[in-house]
């Protein structure tokens, strides 16, 4: 359906040439469409939205890298090519990754070396909703929600043609990236197309790949210096979408294909060859009547597969095919309440074939009813959310895993929040929630060697629902474009599901045995961010976060929890010129889990300059970004491979973006 991507320079040239057919540049309004369909400023839950110029300058090779260092957000970091966001110390199934409001059906939560099948190059906006109240958007979203929006299904009437093209080169990984996006319409029908390509070489690093701590702890030799072996990548993708647009809504369809071939870092001769085909259907209509005023439908079908290549041989193949969607109705005020009621559904089939298939074939089905209501009271607001779900997780008979097993759960969740306007500048929010999560298929049925984690993992089919109660609060200040937010949270789990080292050695593989089990746990932390105008052209920004997480059953710290981080930056703007200087200091992490090594403190300093070129009828911005200016050895404690895969050395990246 879509041909393999040509060199990106050809694509960009073709799109810019096509622009000449439009007499005047069309305008597309890109509102802040967050997961809750509201702006972040009036929400009771903490939310971050990245789009436009800010997103363009933050784009990394992965979704995790793009969001890493935002308040409350770190990344798993399995080398430079596979990285999922970690929110408030929680990762994997507790962070729901969505694309256009529908879950991403890859296998990135199964293993840290599996990449997320969303490439930041074509994303127009990313919304991050932190905290337990985010569970309203998915039964697994105890930590939070990340929603990537790409506008592949046009939602607004458009006459003419508009789009963007972008390319960037350099960096510690010697990237050669490019993307082009175009939207065209005649007022009734709109069409979208995008392509991207991303190539990187092995990452240049400051010093040895293996840390001195790991060398001292187990004698792992420090043989590779200056280069992270097997960390290159070659990815591309394309999409085509269209929609009928009306004065009060739209209905549309899109298809996307993503390919990614990358080294896994942990094993020098192993690569992953990933492909994902996704069909999306979406529709929304507003101003429908006096009772139900809005209807929204979203559904996506994904056919995902990746092969783990050992040289030219296929070691293991992972497949995930499924359907997920939601139907939502918004209503006019009833007794002063505004809100929505919705139904979410999903059906996925997971399959692993090969010698490292440590999980059997599994069918997972989810259904849930949810309700969200708001009650404005003068300048204040009360919110209420409720979710009633059913999940079945059924494994199939197999020679390796024996007879299939069936498990079903009924996770139910509640959230109550409020926003209190203290004055025209100050406001406070608070949220109370009870959250329940059904165990994931690998937590129930894993039974085999997991090379990426270096363990023989054993699931527990007797696991019950993961339950937690949480509270979070924020104090916010706004004065024009100046702002400051300070938040605190506390979450107590009665049965937190994790994989724990048993101290035994599996006799056949010789790997340490680790079992999935449930323990009592507590997560608590602080977050803040702010911006203040020092002059008309210069802004000061600050940010920071801290997470403290303990296994209360065994009185131990939980693994891979990011340390205290404090950051500050300067933003300068004068006419078409802008410059950013940013520094983030991560303190030493010595509060570690059993058999987990400490990580040293580091300071990451970066600088960016950008200039908007005076090109007729186009908006062209050239930029340059310098990373790790102090050339420090940066090992993020949240990364599973922190002791064999540091961040890149001091480097310079240059690029340009054209909007038309």
Distance between CA 212 and CA 204 in Å, rounded? 18
The token duo for 97 is 């990754």
DSSP assignment letter at 230: T
What 3-state class would DSSP assign to 21?
helix
Which residues make beta-bridge pairs with 189?
A: 244
The token duo for 142 is 């105890």
The token duo for 302 is 């994904």
Q: What is the mean pLDDT, run by run of 10 residues, along the chain of 660 residues?
A: 37 34 30 36 74 86 90 88 91 90 89 88 89 66 89 94 94 95 95 96 95 93 93 96 96 97 90 96 92 94 94 90 95 89 95 89 95 90 92 90 92 92 94 93 92 87 95 94 95 94 88 93 96 96 97 94 96 95 97 92 96 85 96 94 93 94
CATH (residue range 8-659): 2.40.170.20
Angle formed at CA 553 by CA 547 and CA 559, multiple of 5 degrees? 40
Distance between CA 238 and CA 4 in Å, rounded? 8
Which residues make beta-bridge pairs with 40?
A: none
Distance between CA 359 and CA 444 in Å, rounded? 9
Distance between CA 315 and CA 308 in Å, rounded? 6
- Are 636 and 112 spatial neighbours (Cβ–Cβ below 8 Å)? no
User: pTM of this prediction?
Assistant: 0.89
Smallest CA-to-CA distance from 121 within 284, 256, 304, 294 is with 256
Distance between CA 486 and CA 473 in Å, rounded? 8
Please tell me the chain's helix, strand, coil percentages from 3-state DSSP, rounded to the nearest 5.
10, 55, 35
Angle formed at CA 460 by CA 454 and CA 466, multiple of 5 degrees? 105
532 contacts: CB under 8 Å, gap ≥ 6: 482, 484, 539, 540, 541
Distance between CA 183 and CA 169 in Å, rounded? 25
- Are 452 and 264 spatial neighbours (Cβ–Cβ below 8 Å)? yes
Which residues make beta-bridge pairs with 631?
A: none
Angle formed at CA 371 by CA 370 and CA 377, multiple of 5 degrees? 160
Half-sphere exposure of 519 (CA within 13 A, CB side): 19
Q: Where are the alpha helices (DSSP H) in 368-417?
A: none
The pLDDT score that the predictor gives to residue 14 is 36
Helix (H) or strand (E) holding 56: helix 52-58
- Are 606 and 629 spatial neighbours (Cβ–Cβ below 8 Å)? yes
Smallest CA-to-CA distance from 500 within 487, 513, 486 is with 513
The pLDDT score that the predictor gives to residue 246 is 95
- Are 296 and 325 spatial neighbours (Cβ–Cβ below 8 Å)? no
CA distances, 23 to each of 160, 187, 437 (Å): 8, 15, 54
């Amino acid at each position: 359906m879509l041909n393999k991507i040509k060199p990106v320079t050809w694509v960009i040239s073709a799109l810019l040439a096509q622009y000449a057919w439009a007499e005047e540049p069309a305008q597309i309004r890109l509102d802040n469409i967050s997961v809750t369909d509201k702006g972040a400023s009036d929400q009771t839950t903490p939310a971050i939205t990245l789009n436009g110029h800010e997103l363009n300058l933050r784009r990394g090779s992965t979704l995790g890298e793009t969001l890493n260092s935002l308040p409350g957000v770190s990344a798993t970091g399995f080398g430079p090519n596979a990285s999922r966001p970690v929110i408030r110390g929680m990762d994997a199934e507790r962070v729901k990754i969505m694309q256009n409001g529908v879950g991403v059906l890859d296998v990135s939560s199964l293993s840290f070396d599996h990449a997320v099948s969303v490439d930041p190059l074509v994303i127009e906006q990313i919304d991050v909703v932190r905290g337990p109240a985010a569970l309203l958007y998915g039964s697994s979203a105890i930590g939070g929600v990340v929603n990537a929006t790409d506008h592949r299904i046009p939602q607004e009437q458009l006459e003419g043609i508009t789009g963007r093209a972008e390319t960037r080169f350099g960096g510690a990984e010697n990237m050669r990236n490019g993307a082009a996006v175009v939207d065209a319409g005649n007022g009734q029908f709109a069409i979208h197309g995008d392509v991207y390509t991303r190539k990187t070489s092995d990452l240049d690093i400051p010093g040895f790949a293996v840390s001195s701590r790991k060398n001292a702890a187990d004698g792992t030799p420090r043989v590779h210096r200056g280069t992270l072996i097997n960390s290159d990548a070659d990815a591309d993708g394309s999409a085509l979408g269209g929609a009928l647009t009306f004065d009060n809504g739209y209905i549309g369809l899109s298809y996307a294909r993503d390919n990614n071939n990358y080294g896994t870092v942990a094993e020098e001769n192993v690569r992953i060859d990933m492909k994902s085909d996704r069909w999306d259907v979406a529709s929304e209509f507003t101003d429908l009547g006096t009772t139900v005023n809005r209807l929204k439908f979203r559904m996506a079908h994904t056919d995902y597969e990746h092969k783990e290549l050992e040289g030219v041989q296929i070691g293991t193949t992972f497949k995930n095919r499924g359907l997920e969607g939601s139907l939502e109705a918004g209503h006019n005020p009833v007794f002063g309440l505004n809100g929505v009621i919705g139904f979410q559904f999903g059906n996925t089939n997971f399959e692993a074939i090969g010698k490292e298939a440590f999980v059997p074939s599994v069918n997972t089905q989810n259904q849930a009813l949810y309700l969200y209501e708001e009650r404005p009271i003068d300048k204040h607001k009360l919110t209420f959310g409720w979710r009633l779900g059913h999940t079945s997780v059924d494994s199939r008979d197999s020679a390796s895993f024996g007879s299939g097993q069936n498990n079903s759960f009924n996770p139910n969740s509640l959230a109550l929040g409020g926003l209190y306007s203290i004055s025209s500048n100050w406001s406070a929010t608070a949220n109370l929630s009870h959250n329940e999560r059904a165990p994931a298929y690998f937590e129930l049925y894993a039974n085999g060697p997991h090379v990426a984690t270096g363990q023989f993992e054993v699931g527990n089919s007797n696991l019950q629902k993961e339950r937690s109660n949480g509270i979070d609060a924020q104090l916010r200040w706004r004065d024009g474009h100046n702002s400051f937010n300070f938040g605190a949270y506390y979450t107590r789990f009665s049965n937190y599901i994790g994989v724990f080292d048993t101290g035994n050695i599996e006799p056949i593989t010789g790997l340490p045995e680790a079992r999935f089990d449930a323990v009592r746990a507590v997560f608590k932390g602080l977050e803040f961010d702010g911006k203040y105008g020092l002059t008309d052209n210069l802004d000061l920004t600050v940010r920071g976060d801290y997470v403290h997480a303990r296994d209360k059953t065994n009185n131990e710290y939980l693994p891979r929890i990011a340390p205290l981080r404090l950051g500050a930056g300067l933003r300068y703007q004068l006419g078409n010129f802008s410059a950013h200087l940013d520094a983030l200091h991560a303190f030493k992490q010595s509060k570690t889990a059993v058999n987990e090594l400490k990580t040293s403190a580091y300071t990451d300093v970066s600088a960016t300059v950008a200039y908007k070129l005076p090109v007729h009828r186009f908006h062209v911005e050239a930029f340059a970004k310098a990373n790790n200016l102090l050339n420090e050895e940066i090992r993020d404690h949240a990364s599973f491979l922190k002791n064999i895969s540091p961040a890149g050395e001091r480097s310079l990246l240059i690029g340009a973006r054209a909007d038309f």
